[in-house]
């Protein structure tokens, strides 16, 4: 490196000579002096010729380009956006907010933040502090990157260019804009303190954020962060004044996004003014304070004031940020249909549908269904405050979970039995201690034959017509997991309660649920909705007891006849409800039993066999000898994998939660003692996992859609890749250790995890 630097210096010195010819010197012969003399010996040099001086070419000036800090104001704008904002309660407020921006093209193209212009019905713009406003229109926005491009009327504007260097810590920077809604232009000075800072907020999810200490105030949003030469380093969008930290969206993240926005494309957006919220009830989601006409959100039926609580079955804003919402949008094409669930507090309704697909429809709600009915019950049913504290409960077999008010402390998780004592499934009930006439929530689940499931017949067996004054009728029931039928009764028992009985089943009809609610107040109905929305079957349902007239003595359903096309070769062979050891054992076979194989998995590791009264029967192919080539069997459709294993008796670690419906979990642990950076291949998703501290590894927990996912790992020692196959409801653990092969292990999830 030393020789390289010397060589570079020689080249630079030669370049610094410009275009002059080297002057020639007349040599002076050596002269012997007896004593020193004070007369200097000056060589005589001929003057350089005029032709050795190159002509000086002045740089071409770009009309309108700002090239100094003093002129930055000419290209900075103040923006006023007039709009209506609707809060979650449905209350609309006319708003007129002001922010900043800056012009980047003489035609009037300007940059600002999305949160400055989102939802605006009218934009007014003042250029450089002028007193007359101009009109402008929005060309494109990005909700997640908090950027917007607008077009001012007219042309011939002064404009700013981008700083091409790195925003290194220590770089002098200036924040320009029109803060606090006032017409006076301000310029504050500071330095870059961090080149790459975290960019998650409750209104945006931004990469490549620059942290600096040039003061910005409300109204500076969208204004430029510039160098001493007036070049743009970033777009100011966030302040943390109490710690003197201010943030700007860097050039690397802004420029590619801006190029798309100026071409009239909205990016990572559905057409709302979003903000991550967490309500006192514990509900989290993305609040849409405004909705753009004609946008995907508008076409789906989302209204101003709605809260998006889930997208693609993933709960939103659990950490108070926009990260999950934006990650989903960034991993789907703008035209993809996305499942969405919305809470509309103005009418206390839950709506479900799709963006770019099926419009929102009102989902079932006990509170909505019984509106006014509990009040008609009399003095015993007067209004009470809403329940605020909820607890998670589980049955004795740890197959069922739900959330109920902490006041409902009389919990029964014993098996679901018939009057004869025969076990038919799992059960979970909750009510206040001693409340024999309600309120109550009763949930039970049992295995069933999909071909014989009949919700109406089961409801007819569980009627309350004799104990309730009025039978209100039967209607369809549907939520995100179950479909079925519901009966409603009023004037029940001594307290004239409202009672609902629901029979429903998941799509595969492998089991059914009996759900019953007894409510005295609106607060009870709200609690019932919470219980039903959090109800999950997370473990194996208890095996039904053999019926007395079935003649069954065990669960061996194999056949010893000569029929079939495969023979059991092991002493015993477990038959499972799906093609993996994660599925429950539904039957056993003995050596030399003959079975009829009717399908296989794509890798031929498992075969589906035909067994009486067992709709899903799978056996490991290594336990069978086939009469013909297994490849001749068709690939059979497999059931949904079971949920991740639940471990009882352990507290839930703070970094863990249960898989969301339709998703899988991946936990990456950093054991290398150095920071670990992970990029998801072919996406913009990236994460930094801190180094191991003592015996505690750095951790990253990811909710991933089913399928194959590839990641790139970067450590101080080098780079590597890993590919992970994710299954819905399953969890995997990958420890990262130097000089050790990557392996994935089952992820144990305590029952206490939510």
Q: Token pair of 739, please? A: 């000089």
70 catalytic residue (yes or no): no
d(CA 504, CA 483): 5
CA–CA distances in Å: residue 551 to residues 198, 257, 547: 66, 70, 8
User: Is 141 in contact with 114 (CB distance < 8 Å)?
Assistant: yes
- Checking 194-201 for CB contacts under 8 A at 24+ apart, the result is 194/169, 195/166, 195/167, 195/168, 195/169, 197/247, 199/247, 199/249, 200/321, 200/322, 200/323, 201/238, 201/321, 201/322
Q: What is the DSSP string of 624-658?
A: EEESS-GGGSPBPP-PPPPPPPEETT-PPPTT--P
SS3 661: coil
User: Is 304 in contact with 84 (CB distance < 8 Å)?
Assistant: yes
Backbone angles phi, psi at 70, to 5 degrees: -65, -30
- The dihedral over CA atoms of 530, 533, 538, 544, expressed in degrees to the nearest 10, equals 90
User: Is 648 in contact with 735 (CB distance < 8 Å)?
Assistant: no
Length, in residues, of the chain: 754
Question: In terms of Cα–Cα distance, which of 680, 641, 646, 647 is closest to 661?
Answer: 641
Question: In terms of Cα–Cα distance, which of 489, 548, 542, 541 is closest to 519?
Answer: 489
Q: Token pair of 100, please? A: 């900043």
Please pick, among 221, 397, 490, 510, the residue that the annotation labels catalytic.
221
Task: Please list the residues that pair with 234 across neighbouring strands.
Answer: 225, 250
E strand residue ranges, 91-240: 92-103, 109-112, 122-127, 134-142, 147-152, 172-177, 186-197, 209-212, 224-226, 232-240
115 catalytic residue (yes or no): yes
The structure tokens 């005589």 sit at: 44
Please pick, among 100, 118, 146, 752, the residue that the annotation labels catalytic.
146
Q: What is the DSSP string of 166-201?
A: ---TT-EEEEEE-GGG-SS-EEEEEEEEEEEE--B-
d(CA 251, CA 654): 36
DSSP 8-state class, residue 520: S
212 catalytic residue (yes or no): no
d(CA 68, CA 66): 6
Please pick, among 100, 115, 540, 703, the residue that the annotation labels catalytic.
115
User: Is 355 in contact with 306 (CB distance < 8 Å)?
Assistant: no
Catalytic residues: 115, 146, 221
């Amino acid at each position: 490196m030393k020789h390289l630097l010397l060589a570079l210096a020689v080249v630079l010195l030669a370049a610094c000579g410009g275009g002059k010819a080297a002057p020639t010197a007349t040599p002076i012969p050596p002269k012997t002096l007896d004593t020193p003399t004070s007369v200097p010996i000056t060589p005589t040099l001929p003057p350089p010729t005029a032709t050795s001086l190159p002509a000086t070419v002045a740089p071409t000036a770009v009309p309108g380009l700002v090239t100094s800090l003093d002129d930055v104001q000419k290209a900075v704008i103040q923006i006023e956006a007039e709009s209506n904002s609707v809060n979650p309660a449905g209350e609309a407020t006319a708003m007129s907010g002001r922010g900043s921006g800056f012009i980047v093209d003489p035609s009037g193209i300007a940059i600002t933040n999305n949160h400055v212009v989102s939802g605006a019905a009218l934009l007014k713009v003042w250029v450089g502090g002028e007193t007359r406003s101009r009109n402008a229109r929005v060309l494109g926005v990005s909700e997640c990157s908090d950027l917007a491009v607008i077009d001012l009327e007219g042309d011939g504007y002064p404009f700013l260019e981008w700083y091409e260097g790195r925003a290194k810590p220590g770089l002098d920077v200036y924040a320009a804009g029109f803060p606090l809604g006032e017409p006076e232009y301000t310029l504050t000075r500071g330095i870059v303190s961090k080149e790459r800072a975290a960019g998650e907020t409750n209104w945006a999810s931004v990469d490549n954020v620059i942290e600096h200490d040039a003061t910005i105030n409300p109204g500076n949003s969208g204004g430029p962060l510039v160098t001493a030469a007036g070049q743009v380093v970033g777009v100011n969008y966030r302040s943390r004044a109490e710690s003197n930290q201010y943030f700007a969206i860097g050039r690397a993240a802004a420029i590619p996004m801006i190029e798309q926005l100026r071409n009239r494309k909205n990016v990572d957006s559905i057409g709302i003014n979003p903000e991550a919220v967490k309500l006192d009830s514990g509900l989290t989601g993305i609040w849409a304070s405004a909705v753009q006409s004609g946008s995907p959100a508008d076409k789906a039926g989302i209204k101003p004031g709605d809260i998006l609580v889930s997208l693609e079955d993933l709960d939103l804003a659990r950490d108070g940020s926009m990260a999950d919402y934006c990650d989903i949008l960034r991993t789907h094409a703008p035209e993809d249909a996305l499942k969405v669930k919305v809470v509309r507090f103005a009418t206390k309704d839950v709506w479900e549908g799709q963006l770019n697909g099926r419009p929102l429809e009102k989902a079932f709600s006990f509170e909505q269904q019984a509106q006014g009915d509990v009040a008609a019950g009399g003095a015993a049913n007067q209004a009470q405050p809403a329940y605020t504290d909820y607890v998670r409960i589980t049955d004795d077999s740890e197959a069922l979970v739900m959330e109920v008010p902490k006041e409902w402390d009389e919990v029964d998780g014993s098996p679901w039995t018939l009057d004869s004592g025969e076990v038919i499934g799992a059960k979970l009930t909750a009510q206040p201690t001693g409340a024999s006439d309600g309120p109550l929530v009763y949930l039970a689940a049992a295995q069933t034959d999909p071909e014989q499931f009949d919700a109406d017949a089961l409801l007819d067996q569980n009627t309350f017509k004799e104990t309730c004054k009025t039978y209100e009728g039967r209607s369809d029931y549907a939520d995100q997991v179950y479909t079925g039928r519901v009966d409603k009764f009023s004037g029940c028992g001594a307290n004239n309660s409202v009672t609902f009985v629901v029979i429903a089943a998941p799509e595969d009809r492998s089991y059914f649920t009996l759900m019953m609610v007894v409510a005295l107040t609106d607060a009870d109905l709200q609690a019932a909705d919470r219980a039903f929305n959090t109800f999950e079957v997370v473990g194996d349902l208890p095996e039904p007891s053999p019926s007395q007239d079935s003649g069954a003595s065990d669960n061996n359903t194999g056949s010893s006849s000569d029929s079939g096309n495969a023979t059991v070769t092991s002493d015993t062979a477990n038959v499972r409800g799906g093609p993996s050891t994660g599925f429950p054992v539904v039957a056993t076979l003995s050596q030399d039993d003959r079975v009829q194989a009717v399908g296989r998995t794509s890798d031929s590791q498992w075969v589906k066999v035909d067994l009486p009264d067992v709709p899903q029967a799978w056996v490991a192919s290594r336990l069978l000898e086939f009469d013909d080539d297994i490849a001749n069997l068709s690939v059979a459709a497999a059931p949904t994998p079971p949920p991740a294993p639940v471990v009882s008796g352990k507290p839930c670690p703070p970094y863990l939660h249960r898989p969301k419906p339709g998703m899988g979990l991946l936990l990456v642990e950093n054991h290398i003692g150095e920071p670990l950076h992970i990029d998801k291949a072919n996406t913009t998703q990236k994460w930094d996992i801190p180094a191991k501290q003592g015996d505690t590894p750095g951790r990253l927990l990811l909710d991933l859609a089913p399928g194959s996912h590839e990641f790139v790992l970067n450590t101080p020692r080098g780079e590597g890749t890993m590919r992970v196959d994710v299954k819905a409801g399953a969890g995997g653990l990958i420890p990262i250790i130097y000089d050790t092969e990557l392996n994935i292990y089952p992820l144990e999830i305590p029952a206490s995890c939510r």
